[in-house]
């Protein structure tokens, strides 16, 4: 038994689903103006379905309800990204939009810096992990270890 098992989830601490909806809303404002990434989205120029999926996925990942799983099944994120080229450029653009969104939604909160660190501490290695341009099954061997 560790303190981790009873610590409130980031989902709860951040403010629940509205926090993730806001984060994802700002993120897609950036994506929709990105000439490299925007056309990759299957429903482009409609980002509402993608917003819905990402927001539910993130809520579930951070300890919220498992609605994503109920709607989409197991995340299998690497598999779901195979249809799109994810190289260093795509990774960096994606992270830039996400970092902007994280900064915006965490601004002015007492716990903003801590929250931003936790969120980016997941997004940075996860985006690298989703690269599929190297021919290797998994790019980052140390994923999740630091």
Q: Which residues bind ligand HEM (CB under 6 A)?
A: 37, 40-42, 50, 53-54, 57, 72, 77, 80-81, 84, 86, 90-91, 94, 123, 126-127, 130
DSSP structural state of residue 41: S
Instruction: Give least dist CB 100 to ligand HEM, A.
Output: 14
Cβ of residue 26: shortest distance to ligand HEM, in angstroms? 15
CB distance 56 to 24 below 8 Å: no
| Nearest partner of 31 among 126, 120, 95, judged by Cα | 95
Q: Which is nearer to ligand HEM, 2 or 137 (CB)?
A: 137
Q: How far apart are CA 13 and CA 143, in angstroms?
A: 25
Nearest approach, Cβ of 106 to ligand HEM (angstroms)?
Answer: 17
Q: Is 140 left (phi over 0), alpha (psi -120 to 50) or beta?
A: beta
> CA torsion angle for 61, 116, 82, 128 (degrees, to 10)?
-120
Smallest distance from ligand HEM to CB 60, Å: 9
Q: Which is nearer to ligand HEM, 1 or 68 (CB)?
A: 68
Q: Which is nearer to ligand HEM, 67 or 109 (CB)?
A: 67
């Amino acid at each position: 038994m560790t303190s981790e098992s009873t610590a409130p989830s980031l989902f709860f601490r951040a403010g629940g689903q509205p926090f993730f909806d806001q984060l994802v809303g700002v993120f897609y404002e950036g994506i929709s103006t990105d000439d490299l990434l925007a056309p990759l989205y299957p429903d482009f120029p409609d980002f509402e379905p993608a917003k819905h999926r990402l927001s539910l996925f993130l809520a579930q990942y951070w300890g919220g309800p498992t609605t994503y799983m109920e709607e989409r099944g197991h995340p299998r994120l690497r598999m779901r990204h195979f249809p799109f080229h994810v190289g260093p450029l795509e990774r960096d653009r994606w992270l830039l939009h996400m970092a902007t969104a994280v900064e915006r939604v965490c601004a002015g909160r007492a716990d903003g810096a801590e929250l931003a660190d936790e969120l980016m501490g997941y997004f940075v290695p996860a985006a690298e992990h989703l690269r599929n341009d190297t021919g290797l099954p998994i790019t980052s061997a140390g994923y999740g270890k630091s």
